[in-house]
Copies of this chain bind each other. A is one copy, B any other.
Amino acid sequence: MNKGRLEAFSDGVLAIVITIMVLELKVPDGAEFAALLPLLPILGGYALSFVYVAIYWNNHHHLLSLASRITPGVMWANMHFLFWLTLTPFVTEWMGRQSFQSAPIMAYGGIFFMSAVAYKILQQQISVTTIHPETFKKAFQRDVKGILSPVLYVAAIVIALFAPVVSYGLYALVALMWIIPDRRLVAVFEANHEEKTHSH
Interface of A is mostly: helix
Cβ–Cβ < 8 Å partners of A9 in chain B? 11, 14-15, 57
Choose the segment among A21-29, A120-128, A134-142, A145-153 that binds chain B (4+ C-beta atoms closer than 8 Å): A21-29
Cβ–Cβ < 8 Å partners of A83 in chain B? 47, 50
Q: In this assembly, does A118 line the interface, its C-beta being within 8 Å of a C-beta of chain B?
A: no
Are B16 and A16 in contact, with the CB atoms below 8 A? yes
**Do A19 and B22 form a contact, CB below 8 Å, given A76-B179, A103-B32?**
no
Interchain residue pairs A-B with the least CB separation, the first 10: A12-B15, A72-B181, A31-B98, A31-B101, A16-B19, A54-B79, A27-B93, A27-B94, A25-B90, A33-B103
Q: Which residues of A contact B (CB under 8 A)?
A: 1-2, 5, 7-9, 11-25, 27-28, 30-33, 35-36, 47, 50-51, 54, 57-58, 61-62, 65, 72, 75-76, 79, 82-83, 86-87, 89-90, 93-94, 97-98, 101-104, 106-107, 179, 181, 186, 189
